[in-house]
Structure 1
Amino acid sequence: MSYREFTWSKAKQDFSLKTIEGDRFFPVLPEVQPSSLLQEMLQRNIPWAIAVGNEKARSEAIINPILLEVQQVLERKISVFSGEEFNVDPKAGLNGICDFLISQSPEQIVVEAPVLVVVEAKKDDLKRGMGQCLAEMVAAQRFNRANEQAIPTIYGSVTTGTAWRFLKLEDSIVTVDLTDYPVPPVEQVLSILVWIANNTR
């Protein structure tokens, strides 16, 4: 078994999680302005990624540039991993490839604790990716604890690149922000991701 096999119900049941569904759980945030490079890349890449229509295109053309922009804004004090094998507890099904991981460590060769955010890419239906994302968040929580770098909150996002849905995991409580944040404009998603990285430091 691996992350991809988890549905929302299975992840909740296997890891004894309780769910809160609600509105935005982020505070009012100062707007983070994208660089001219990111603006140009998204303007060029988004129509192509939508036309191609698969997860790989959306990951490469939209999601990865946004996450690397966050790393740049934070002066490379975080690391961003794409398509990384993240085998934490295979017996529990917490193994496989994560689309994206963000760690508080600047180390880029291997994933080091604490992992702050997992991002799951989907070509269309966000709901279908939520179980997988939740399992990856539990894995990040366990990975941090095992490495004595536990942090209070793990964040996750399921995204098509042009729509972002956020989740947070605190102990055994998972909260879902039922707002889907659009890109473009990219400012709001950038602000959220930068806030997450700064808020858990």
Structure 2
Amino acid sequence: RQETLIYPILREIFRHHADRLSLFSHRALSINGDPDLTGTPDYLVSHRSPLGRSVMGKPLIVIIEAKQDDFTGGWGQCLAELVAAQMYNDDQDTPVFGIVTNGDTWEFGLLRRTDFILDIAPFTVRNLPELLGALDFAFRQGEISDTCANVC
């Protein structure tokens, strides 16, 4: 589902933000090289690093596939990745967005400090303009959440 349903939708929004953000697929998120603090989200959006497109900047959005339509399990994995992203960023004040999707239904959440907020209304591809708008909002919030003025 990832390559046929999820990626084309992400790519459509990402192309409008490619000058400031990077999109990674199955890129490990490792905290201080600790194998116990390493996870691999299905997709990850980060600030674009000044070191180039292939170097991950600060993670901003974590996208997890709800395998076998298991959104509860998907959110468990996503929340763990969101905490890892906060640790990677060394910043709990900057919100990190989480998305869990099976390709048809897309659920959005946000972690800031220790507060996790899950949007109770999922988006679906049946209303593609609304879904693309929600994704664009998350990408734009990521762009303005940190200007990368120091180190990404």
TM-score by length of 1: 0.63
Identity %: 31
Once residues 31 and 45 of structure 2 are traced to their aligned partners in structure 1, the CA distance between those partners, rounded to angstroms, is 16
Once residues 98 and 192 of structure 1 are traced to their aligned partners in structure 2, the CA distance between those partners, rounded to angstroms, is 20
- Are residues 75 and 132 of structure 1, via their aligned partners in 2, closer, same or farther at CA, if it must alter by over 3 Å? closer
> Following superposition of structure 1 onto structure 2, how do residues 64-79 of structure 1 map, counting pairs within 5 Å?
64-79=7-22
Once residues 140 and 188 of structure 1 are traced to their aligned partners in structure 2, the CA distance between those partners, rounded to angstroms, is 27
- Higher RCO (CA 8 Å, separation ≥ 6 residues): 1
Structure having the higher Rg: 1
Aligned to 2:147: none
How far off is 1:158 after superposition? 0.7
Structure showing the higher strand proportion among its residues:
2
The more displaced of 62-71 and 180-189 is 180-189
- Are residues 176 and 70 of structure 1, via their aligned partners in 2, closer, same or farther at CA, if it must alter by over 3 Å? same
Q: What SS is found at the alignment partner of 1:178?
A: coil
Once residues 151 and 171 of structure 1 are traced to their aligned partners in structure 2, the CA distance between those partners, rounded to angstroms, is 6
Tell me how many residue pairs correspond in the alignment.
Answer: 140
**Residue 120, structure 1, aligned to residue 64, structure 2:** yes
Once residues 192 and 179 of structure 1 are traced to their aligned partners in structure 2, the CA distance between those partners, rounded to angstroms, is 11
Once residues 120 and 131 of structure 1 are traced to their aligned partners in structure 2, the CA distance between those partners, rounded to angstroms, is 10
How far off is 1:73 after superposition? 1.9
Aligned to 1:52: none
Q: 1:139 aligns with which of 76, 84, 109?
A: 84
Once residues 193 and 177 of structure 1 are traced to their aligned partners in structure 2, the CA distance between those partners, rounded to angstroms, is 13
Q: What SS is found at the alignment partner of 1:184?
A: helix
Does the 8 Å contact 1:81/1:108 carry over to 2? no
Does the 8 Å contact 1:94/1:135 carry over to 2? no
Q: 1:177 aligns with which of 97, 106, 119?
A: 119
Q: What SS is found at the alignment partner of 2:27?
A: strand
Aligned to 2:48: 105
Does the 8 Å contact 2:28/2:38 carry over to 1? yes
> Following superposition of structure 1 onto structure 2, how do residues 82-93 of structure 1 map, counting pairs within 5 Å?
82-88=25-31, 93=36
Structure showing the higher helix proportion among its residues:
1
Superposed CA RMSD in Å reads: 2.1
Aligned to 2:74: 129
Q: What SS is found at the alignment partner of 2:108?
A: strand
Gaps of 5+ in 1: 1-57
Q: What SS is found at the alignment partner of 1:73?
A: coil
How far off is 1:108 after superposition? 2.5
Q: Which runs of 4+ in 1 moved over 6 A?
A: none
Once residues 107 and 124 of structure 2 are traced to their aligned partners in structure 1, the CA distance between those partners, rounded to angstroms, is 9
